[in-house]
Amino acid sequence: MSDVLKVPTMAEFMAQGKQPEVLFWVGCAGSFDDRAKKITKAFVKLLNNAGVEFAVLGTEESCTGDPAKRAGNEFLFQMQAATNIEVLNAYEVQKIVTACPHCFNTINNEYPQLGGNYEVMHHTQFLKTLLNDGRLKVEGGKFKGKKITFHDPCYLGRANGEYEAPRDLLRKLEVELVEMKRCKTNGLCCGAGGAQMFKEPEAGTKDINVARTEEAVGTGASIVATGCPFCNTMMTDGVKHGEKEGAVEVMDVAEMIANASEL
Amino acid sequence: MQYIPNILFFILLVAGVGYFAKNIRTVIRNIKLGTPVNAGGHKKERYGNVARIALGQSKLIKRPISGALHAVVYVGFIIINIEVLEIIIDGLLGTHRIFAFLGGFYDFLIGSFEILAFLVLVAVVVFWIRRNVIKIKRFLSPEMEGWPKQDGNIILYFEVVLMCLFLIMNGSDYALQQIGAAHYVEAGSYPISSLFSGIFEGLTESSLVIIERTAWWLHITGILIFLNYLYFSKHLHILLAFPNVYFGSITPKGQFKNNQAVTKEVKMMMDPSADPFAAPPADAPEPAKFGASDVMDLSQVQLLNAYTCTECGRCTSECPANQTGKKLSPRKIMMDTRDRLQEVSKNIDSNDGVFIPDGKELLKDYISPEELWACTTCNACVEACPISIDPLSIIMDMRQYLVMEQSAAPNELNVTMTNIENNGAPWPFNQMDRLNWSKE
């Protein structure tokens, strides 16, 4: 695989005295989680294919601090932020794209006051600009006509008001987009946010991811599309819980586009 | 003797408005117990929000049935208050229907007040049925038991009584006008009260006057009692919704405020020239408390939020944690905050204006850590609130206190945070392996 994936680092760019077009912030899930790594690779394939000159921080990247902040550890969050901002500013980074809505939200909204000012985009927004500029071709391929529902990640949707970029991409895939009853501003959380991903839920009658997956499966969609590695994990677990692995697949929008073009 | 009613009315008005003003001053004092908020600038955007969200009720209508019913009561409330203005002038001057000189326009005004009063009655009856017969789920949460449930019904009873008195007052007035009673000028149109004018038939002029005057006095007295009830009720939202929306957040919902006290500490830690062994100067203020454990640690806007909450429960019904049976209810967070603030207020009142610690706090005595840890920070509650209340910010401030002051995070989160601290990821992976995916 490594011969097809071109993943230059910021350090390499700097050594050549160049600046990339955009920094791809991979995030912890995208770097370490086996499922999320597939999303990362799919997105890189799309970037390579569109001829985008991007770079990653690689081993110089560190957690944005989102889970620490949402868990109440503001101190750890600000330490992480200070370190990351120092690295980003040293490389004179202007533009950042990330496939994680949590990284997107934190860098875009919470870093500026701490000295980190960048243009930050979620990967679905970035892919849409590539599409508009004619650098990326999105075709239906194997998804054409398939029933697909989109689960809004809280930190992309409600938190930052982006509901259309991922849906526009899905429409380009010529899928039959079906909405869940609770979508867009009313979207139901997958249950991972606020550092819930890293702990057991409090006592209750049901797990949130199970409730959300039931709603998604209830639309009759064969694919649940999303744009967040954590939503992906939660929904995949929900599908397994409902023993629907054969019938329903959880995919990132970037994976679908890469898949449709057989990249 | 001739001026006794005028004097009585004046006393009633001064007492009613005066006691209300006193309580509003208490509300303002209590809100100022919170930390100051810099809400300067962005005036255009803020007034835009007031016009759209508060005046325009743009978020209420997202639930069409309750939204439409609320719109009727809201419009009725505002419009019928024009009538109150006439009643006050009449009461003070001893006149009767002083605006009658407006002629056709007056007919139109009174006619529309009557229709609105009738619609308000219908809406209020439907509201009562929703709360007490259909038992809509969001009115049945545990935090609604007892006083909150009663409060909701009392408000509805008030409105029924006030609207009925208004219609009886008009109906008897209309009957008096028909028989050409002195002092009762022929003015106004009475599309609703004329429908039941039959009940006044055959009554003598003096009985009609007694009915009209009784309804008139009870109506204005009822309004003044209702005004004073607000302070003790969730119904304060009819006034506070407007400033609350004005001061509501205008940044993206995902942007949680950065704790300035922490920024200072982090800057000092990262400053290579700072002397790590330096003792603080003798006159240094007490170090800042991280996060919130009581109402005084919350911001003034958060406390205003608490007074503004009308316990509609849209936040709780949208909350993923609450929907899946967890203890967390964003509405309860707001109700607890107000209850604790009122407790602090009484403490201050009975201790000559100074708060004497009472061994209680908002955290643990009102809100349990279990509730706080169930939140996914998904912002559904913030989105759902029709008047821009932010329960999430209170949850986050209290989590900060639990973690940074008490080291009381759930153990799995402590592990997560240690991982972030040691290797820059929430999982125990080596930072040096961060690019391995590209070679797999």
Contacts of A114 in chain B (CB under 8 A): 258, 263
Q: Per-residue pLDDT tens for B155-201? A: 999 999 999 999 999 999 999 998 988 889 888 899 999 898 889 98
| Assigned domain for A5 exists | no
Identify which of A109, A64, A78, A73 has the alpha carbon closest to the alpha carbon of residue B291. A73
Q: Per-residue pLDDT tens for B251-277? A: 999 999 999 999 988 988 888 888 878
A256 lies in the same domain as A186: yes
A99 lies in the same domain as A162: no
A141 lies in the same domain as A256: yes
pLDDT of residue A219 exceeding 60, the answer is: yes
ipTM of the complex: 0.96
pLDDT of residue B206 exceeding 60, the answer is: yes
| Residue that is last in its domain, among A104, A131, A158 | A131
pLDDT of residue B287 exceeding 90, the answer is: no
| Assigned domain for A189 exists | yes
A125 lies in the same domain as A151: no
pLDDT score at A2: 41
What number is the average pLDDT over the span B69-93?
92
| Assigned domain for A239 exists | yes
A176 lies in the same domain as A236: yes
Q: Per-residue pLDDT tens for B322-362? A: 999 999 999 999 999 999 999 999 999 999 999 999 999 99
How would you classify residue B308: left for phi > 0, otherwise alpha for psi between -120 and 50, otherwise beta?
alpha
Q: What is the model's pTM? A: 0.95
pLDDT, averaged across chain A: 96
Contacts of B254 in chain A (CB under 8 A): 105, 109, 155, 158-160
| Residue that is last in its domain, among A105, A131, A157 | A131
pLDDT score at B40: 81
Indicate the number of domains in chain A: 2
| Assigned domain for A2 exists | no
Mapping DSSP to helix (H, G, I), strand (E, B) and coil, where does residue B140 land?
coil
pLDDT score at A121: 98
Min Cα–Cα distance to chain A from B333, Å: 17
Contacts of A211 in chain B (CB under 8 A): 320, 323-324
A94 lies in the same domain as A190: no
| Assigned domain for A4 exists | no
A166 lies in the same domain as A210: yes
A125 lies in the same domain as A37: yes
A171 lies in the same domain as A101: no
| Assigned domain for A1 exists | no
pLDDT score at A1: 42
| Assigned domain for A3 exists | no
Min Cα–Cα distance to chain A from B277, Å: 20
Q: Per-residue pLDDT tens for B216-231? A: 999 999 999 999 999 9
Q: Which residue has the tokens 């901002």?
A: A85
What tokens appear for B185 in the block?
A: 């000028």
- Cα separation, B340 vs B358, in Å, equals 11
Identify which of B376, B373, B302 has the alpha carbon closest to the alpha carbon of residue B340. B302
A117 lies in the same domain as A145: no
The alpha carbon of A159 is separated from its chain's Cα centroid by a whole number of angstroms, namely 14
pLDDT score at A149: 98
- Cα separation, A110 vs A131, in Å, equals 29
What number is the average pLDDT over the span A117-127?
98
A120 lies in the same domain as A187: no
pLDDT score at B288: 78
- Cα separation, A84 vs A79, in Å, equals 9
- Cα separation, B295 vs B56, in Å, equals 31
Q: Which residue segment(s) compose the domain that A90 sits in?
A: 10-131
CA atoms within 13 A on the CB side of B296: 13
pLDDT score at B182: 86
CATH number where A125 lies: 3.40.50
Test A71 with B323 for CB contact under 8 angstroms.
Answer: no
| Assigned domain for A255 exists | yes
Test B380 with A193 for CB contact under 8 angstroms.
Answer: no
| Residue that is last in its domain, among A113, A131, A149 | A131
Give all strands of the β-sheet with A95-98 in edge-to-edge order. Answer: A54-55, A22-25, A95-98, A119-122
pLDDT score at A3: 52
A83 lies in the same domain as A143: no
pLDDT, averaged across chain B: 95
